[in-house]
Amino acid sequence: MSSILGISGGFIPRAQNSAACLIINGKLEFAQEEERINRIKNSRGLMPTNAIKEALNFKKLKINNIDFVAYSSKNLKLINKIKSYFNFTFGYCPKIIPIDHHTCHAYSAFYPSGFTKANIITADFSGDGVSTTINLGDKNGIKRIKEFKKPNSLGIFYGLITQAIGFDLDNDEYKVMGLSSYGNPKYNFDKILKIDKNFYKLNKKIINSQELNKSSSLNLSRQEPFYSNFLLKTLGIKKRILNNINTKKKIDLAASAQYQLNLAAESLFKWTYKKTKINNFCLAGGVALNCTMNKHLSNLDFVNNFYVQPASSDAGNALGAAIYAAKKLKEKLIFRDNVYLGNSFKNSQIKKILKNNNLYKSVKKFDKKYIAKLLANSKVVAIFQGSHEFGPRALGNRSILANPKNRNMKNILNKKIKYRENFRPFAPVVLKQHASKYFKIKKGIDYSSMTVTCDVKKDVKRILPSCVHFDNTSRVQVLEHNKNKKIGDILIEFGKLTGDPVLINTSFNINKEPNVNTIENAISTFFSSGIDYLILEDYILSK
């Protein structure tokens, strides 16, 4: 029996998405990202100090109650720093278990998937010198079949395109994905990312030579180009395209990059299936957050079951590291069947803060019919309840809800609340029993965590115009009522009023900020944006 603290993050600028996870006696108890607490987006170069404290507080533990710290890297220089960090920050250092970066990604995907046997593919920028792995998971554990070493990386490919066409590397790749739906994949990227019948190969010439020079004492920062002039020339542009200029060429380049990524990932899946004849697939790593690619993969005819780790970024490696350690200790793993793994707040705490801010007199008690009526009248409602979601997607506990039937709602949300680019779409949430009426969902694919997009059915874009993307797809959250009763109740009541039990569900934050984490964060964001109503557990706050 053991207490295991899994962590990701680090001391180097490239380390990001730091997080902490707690597994006690084999049971997953807690997982949360550092950015949600310290309010620094991605928390680059930082250890998850606040997340560790939150995990310990959650179970009323002290650091010397922890038997093992599982860390998502085997870099010995970092391990020595980890020991120093724990002694310096907490006054005590449990035994450190260092684990290979991509092994953590693989463990984070396979064991929570529930599959008894599956192919596991991990892909990111890089970690411990590796960028992609192909693995087989079964009752005997996880075996790595093949790996692609840095810089032969799908994450580097997509990241450099992201930077070259005007967005931020290691941050805005999802914007390129969203923009790609508006364009045509008319540009041939074979000189950048070559794909043959088995695998892909990245042309190293597209990378800034300083990044490839291992003897250099200077690492490139995100304020400098990671791409080379060769890449610009190959793309047919003289210099980096500015972020606020969305030309036809920029849009088509985004579409071409997405097309090439889809084909490269498909080649990995085909080779793997040919080798193993297994129809179950798991996916993790930063590249796995590309839900458009995931749609393409899920539709391959040999894919029967498909699971994407909801926290596929390096945050998920805190979970993967803890799982690895628990398996080595022969613990029987017990997972929750949802991603509501972070901190939570009681009604008594909320009431106290509302009173301290002279807000309590104006609150109402939660009423699902009242909320549904507000939403049907196109009011925007934020909800703050239960435990924080683990991963980048808000799934009903730290969410903003809105009426997708209102044709102007996408513009309202982007301009008055999210303060972001107008090309970016919004995702729908729908109860499982109603999902197939609106969305072309495929049996065996996990749509519960907004990791896979799907096509919408005929006339849905007309019925629900503000939650369907330009290309007639949606990144749908298919919800089982018992996993989030409040959201399920609101959906049912909204359906009674409008005839369509579907809502927009977007993260409860404004542009460039992490999702809200505390009651104070929620109230502050509510009053600094165009949100009309705020649900705080059993209370409703209005302006």
Half-sphere exposure (CA, 13 Å, Cβ side) for 162? 23
As a whole number of Å, the CA-based R_g of the chain is: 23
CA angle 487, 21, 129 (to 5 degrees): 115
Helix or strand or coil: residue 474?
Answer: strand
Question: Does residue 175 contact residue 258 with C-beta atoms inside 8 Å?
Answer: no
- Residue that has been written with the tokens 């990671």 in this structure: 226
The phi and psi torsions of 388 (rounded to 5 degrees) equal -60, 140
What's the rounded Cα separation, in Å, for the pair 365 and 541?
9
Question: Does residue 325 contact residue 72 with C-beta atoms inside 8 Å?
Answer: no
Q: Residue 245: what pLDDT?
A: 79
Q: Residue 210: what pLDDT?
A: 86
Q: Residue 242: what pLDDT?
A: 82
Show pLDDT as tens, one digit a residue, over the chain (543 residues).
799 999 999 998 889 999 999 999 999 999 999 999 999 999 999 999 999 999 999 999 999 999 999 999 999 888 999 999 999 999 999 999 999 999 999 999 999 999 999 999 999 999 999 999 999 999 999 999 999 999 999 999 999 999 999 999 999 999 999 999 999 999 999 999 999 878 999 999 999 988 887 655 567 888 899 999 999 999 999 999 987 778 999 999 999 999 999 999 999 999 999 999 999 999 999 999 999 999 999 999 999 999 999 999 999 999 999 999 999 999 999 998 899 999 999 999 999 999 999 999 999 999 999 999 999 999 999 999 999 999 999 999 999 999 999 999 999 999 999 999 999 999 999 999 999 999 999 999 999 999 999 999 999 999 999 999 999 999 999 999 999 999 999 999 999 999 999 999 999 999 989 999 999 999 999 999 999 999 999 999 999
What's the rounded Cα separation, in Å, for the pair 529 and 509?
9
Q: Residue 222: what pLDDT?
A: 81
Pairing of strands 3-8, 19-24: antiparallel
Torsional sign, CA 366, 372, 378, 380: positive
What's the rounded Cα separation, in Å, for the pair 542 and 477?
27
- CA-based nearest residue to 132, from 26, 311, 230, 271: 271
SS (H, E, C) 57-113: HHCCCCHHHCCEEEECCCCHHHHHHHHHHHHHHHCCCCEEEECCHHHHHHHHHHHHH
DSSP string, 129-184: TEEEEEEEEETTEEEEEEEEETTS-HHHHHHHHHHHTTS-TTT-HHHHHHHHTTS-
Torsional sign, CA 392, 397, 402, 403: positive
Torsional sign, CA 146, 150, 156, 157: negative
Q: Residue 394: what pLDDT?
A: 97
pTM: predicted TM-score of the whole model, two decimal places: 0.96
Residue 190, CA distances (Å) to 261, 299, 512 in order: 11, 23, 34
Question: Does residue 384 contact residue 508 with C-beta atoms inside 8 Å?
Answer: yes
Residue 184, CA distances (Å) to 194, 277, 290 in order: 19, 34, 18
Two tokens, residue 69: 């710290």
Q: Is the peptide bond before 98 cis (omega within 30 degrees of 0)?
A: no
Q: Can you state the percent helix, strand and coil of the chain, rounding each to 5?
A: 40, 20, 40
Q: Residue 168: what pLDDT?
A: 94
What's the rounded Cα separation, in Å, for the pair 241 and 397?
37
